[in-house]
Every structure is written in structure tokens, then in C-alpha cells.
Amino acid sequence: MTSAIQSFYKNKTILITGGSGFLGKVTIEKLLRSTEVKRIYVLIRTKKGQEPQERIAGWKDEPFFSVLLESKPDIMKKLVPIAGDIATQDMGISLSDRELLIKEVQVVFNGAATTRFTERLHVALDTNTRPTRTLLQLAREMSRLEAFIHVSTAYCNCISFHIEERFYPEHLNCNADQALGLREVLGDKLTNEAASVLMGKFPNTYTFTKALSEQILEHESGDLPVAIFRPGIVVSTYKEPIEGWVASPVGCTMLLFAVAMGAVRTAMVDIYSNANIVPVDYCVNLMLAIGWHTAEEAAVRKKNAIAAPPPPIYNHVPSESNKLLWGEYRDNSEALGDDFPLEEMKWFPFLHCTANPWVFRLLAFFYHYLPAFFADLVLQFRGQKAHIVKLYQKIHTQMEVMTWFCINNWSFTTHNVDQLWSIMSPADRNVFEFDMASVNWKDLFYKSMGGMRAYVAKEGNTPGIYKAGSHS
């Protein structure tokens, strides 16, 4: 049986924003390895003196692309950089590149964003909100456009603790027009000073500006074939192309790494709350399936002259039949400590979790600050600079921004995701697997711990981490 999704992407021209990020790279690799796309335009900026072409050329040396390049050595020629910067007006795209995109692009994956919870509001608006409108305006001019998929987050409406696959305009103190207008009038400094008023109950600038982006899509997508993808907390690869691969220690991986190093021994976590983690390869598979389904639905509407409904939303979190609690996340990770010990480990790994702020402060004093104080005394005695206490102050600052998501409990409806899985053929389910009910959590933890050791700590060959192919 042939794959309808693979057939859809054959000879397609794709535009990806955020292609150099974690989700973006996995999307690009999957498209190149599992489909016969014609070309992928990657919006990418100059960074650290490297031009866009140089940055993309350097990907061939990364372990993540090794499986792809073994089977298709020249495949990276299909990647074409589009120089630009989403944080600038018109995303910094030249007139000639703009005309090229308008003429050729058939599918857009909009994944560019700043995921820093503590980002200043003016930067978050410039990076997460305004570019959504700019790209939507560009998409409206694309004569061949078949699907526009926007990457949001399952937590962009985290004010509610049960989140359905719908828009939540009632959460916004101001709409996108007002927020972006004030940002232009007030400038950087005053915009940041007004953040708490503009954000209302949102816990950080990330969730607020992503919610504004959804509001733009709700009101301005018109008859464009738009869909919104809301992944939970994205973690390492589960099955492909390399098991356990992760780009950098952020979010859950950062906490896991700090615990494995013996640096973090207590955290504000409610062990009875849902850990809404999703492996990045499952996210990409679902995103590509959404692209196919969005185009199919749009074609039917066009044929029958049916008006486009509001963009459908897809919540991607663990299945109701296969939930994971934070306590299980901790216990499974701790159980693998002996299998994947880090060479630079400072203390035997363990994590004492509490949802009580006063208990956390007491534990942090004994587990973190007291040992840090004595470590600094030893350093000073040796004539070295004391820095351990300051290091823990920084660690605690980072942990504070994650606390909201670790002590509260959310549930989600996933009707659209479940329905999409139900209509996929066996061939599509095999190549583009994203069913969270099928995840073996212990297996995922084993691969994630090994990947953390191999790709974050970079400590040699790790048993149990191997290339994809045996699973798909």
C-alpha cells in the first residue's frame, strides 16, 4: 500500500521558518529522508559571522543527519537558504527572494520563535507575534499554496487547566493589533515596563505572545488553508533518525542533565501532575500529516465552493490511555542512573520533589546552598575564585520560570489528532507515527538518558543508542 502523505509531498516546494531550531531540523531531516520533496526553502539569518549558506552547509557534519546522508549523500542540495531575520520588518527577506517564494512555495511550516520564558516582551512580540502576521500576508500572495501549518504550543492557553482544540480569546487583556501597536508607539523600554499589564494572567512572555499569534490566525487567515499545531513539552527523539537525540539542554532535558550531574537535588515539582511530554520525531510526523490533511480538506472545499472554517487546532500531548506523571518521569530517570552515569558527575544523582515553596526553600538550603558555600570556601582556600553559590542562584532563577508548568496540572482534548490518526492508512501510520498511546515510556526514558549522555554531555559511545530503521 502506498503512503498518501508521501505522495502528497512528492515534488512539493516547502518553506520552513525556524529550520535551524530543534523541531525545524527534525522536520527538514524527515522530509528529506522519507519524502521526495522538490525543494525546501529555509528562512535563516546570519549568526556569529556565519552566512546562511555556511550554516546550512555545516549541518552535514552533525551526527543527527548521518542516517540521511548515508542513504542520500547529495540530498542537502535540496535545501535553499533564504536570508532573513523574523525579528525585523518584513522578516528581512529581499524583494527577489520574496518573489521566488510567492511563485514557488506550496507548503509553509512556520516554526520560528523564541522559546525563552523570560524574554523581554518587545523581543517576544517581534519574534513570536509580528512575524506570524507578516508570513500570513506573504502566504496570501502565494499562488500555489496548499497548506500553512503554524507551530504553537499546548501551553499558550495555560490560564485554563483543561485545554480544548479551540481558540481562547477570553484570556487576552489586549488583542494582537493593540499589543503590536503599543509596541511600536512605546518602544522597547516602555513596552517591557507595561508587560505585566498587557500580559494579565499569563505566566510569561512566551505563552502570551504565542496566544497573540493564534489570535492573528483566527481572525486573519481568511480562506487560506491554515492549521495550528500545539505540541506539549518537546523532548528527544524516540525512534528516528537517531534514538535519544536532543539538540541542547533546555526544558526537561536541562533539568535531567543537572540532576544527572548531581548539581540539582531538589525541585518544585508536583509528582502527581501530568507530564505532557512528546518526543520530537512524533511531533514532526504529526505536523507533516497535518500538512497533508489540511491540503486535502482545502481542495475539497475549493471544489465544492465551501467557505473555509476557522483554522483547526491539533493538541499533541500524551494519550488519556497512556498518561505520564512527573513522579513517574523522575522515578524512571533515577532508575537509569546506574546505566548512564556521567563522567563529570559531582554527586550521586537523586531528585527530591515538592510542590510546597517553603519545603523547597528548606531543601534547597541544605541540598544546594550549604554544600555550595563550603565548596566556595575550599576554592578560596586554594586561591581560586568562589563561584558555586552564584551558580546555584542562576540555576534557581532558571528553575523558577519552569515552576508554573511543574506544579500545576493540565488536561487536554485531542479530538482532531485522534481523528487524523484514524483516517490514516497503515502505510502512513508506519512512516509517520505519532500515536502517543503507543509510546513505551520506559523505552523512551532509556533512549533519552542515553541521548543526554551522548549528545549533551558528549561522553563517548552510549550503549542502547542506535540509528533508526529497525522501528520504522
Q: Is the pLDDT of residue 163 over 90?
A: yes
Peptide bond into 311 cis (omega under 30): no
pLDDT greater at residue 392 or residue 344: 392
Contact criterion met (CB below 8 Å) for 121 and 198? yes
Which amino acid belongs to residue 256?
L
pLDDT greater at residue 148 or residue 389: 148
From CA 279, how far away is CA 464, in angstroms rounded?
17
DSSP assignment of 72-106 equals: -TTGGGGEEEEE--TTSGGGG--HHHHHHHHHH--
The per-residue pLDDT for 288 is 98
The per-residue pLDDT for 48 is 79
| pTM of structure | 0.92
The per-residue pLDDT for 451 is 85
The per-residue pLDDT for 117 is 85
For the chain, list the domains and their CATH numbers. Answer: 4-244+276-320+410-439 (3.40.50.720)
Averaged pLDDT score across all residues of the chain: 90
Over the stretch 349-381, which tens digit does the pLDDT of each residue have?
888 999 999 999 999 999 999 999 999 899 899
CB atoms within 10 A of CB 321: 7
Over the stretch 311-335, which tens digit does the pLDDT of each residue have?
999 999 999 999 999 999 888 877 7
Q: Is the pLDDT of residue 74 over 80?
A: yes
Over the stretch 85-135, which tens digit does the pLDDT of each residue have?
998 888 999 999 999 999 999 999 999 888 888 899 999 999 999 999 999
Over the stretch 426-468, which tens digit does the pLDDT of each residue have?
999 999 999 999 999 999 988 988 888 888 877 765 444 444 4
Q: Is the pLDDT of residue 185 over 70?
A: yes
Inter-helix orientation angle 130-141/95-104, to 10°: 60
Task: For residues 147-157, give the mean pLDDT.
Answer: 96
The per-residue pLDDT for 461 is 56
From CA 86, how far away is CA 20, in angstroms rounded?
13
Q: How far is CA 454 from the centre of its chain?
A: 21
Under the banding of pLDDT at 50, 70 and 90, the label for residue 471 is very low
Task: For residues 145-168, give the mean pLDDT.
Answer: 96
DSSP assignment of 390-403 equals: HHHHHHHHHHHHHH
The per-residue pLDDT for 397 is 85
Q: Is the pLDDT of residue 169 over 90?
A: yes
The per-residue pLDDT for 144 is 96
CB neighbour class for 48 (10 Å; exposed up to 12, middle 13-18, buried from 19)? exposed
Under the banding of pLDDT at 50, 70 and 90, the label for residue 13 is very high
Q: Is 373 helix (H, G, I), strand (E, B) or coil?
A: helix
Nearest to 452 by CA among 356, 357, 366, 336: 336
The per-residue pLDDT for 262 is 82
The strand pairing partners of 353, in sequence order, are: 267
Task: Measure Cα distances from 165 to 228, 273, 311, 422, 436 in Å.
Answer: 9, 21, 10, 17, 17
Over the stretch 294-308, which tens digit does the pLDDT of each residue have?
999 999 998 888 888
Under the banding of pLDDT at 50, 70 and 90, the label for residue 249 is low
Over the stretch 395-424, which tens digit does the pLDDT of each residue have?
888 888 888 899 999 999 999 999 999 999
The per-residue pLDDT for 460 is 61
% of the chain exceeding 90 in pLDDT:
66
% of the chain exceeding 70 in pLDDT:
96
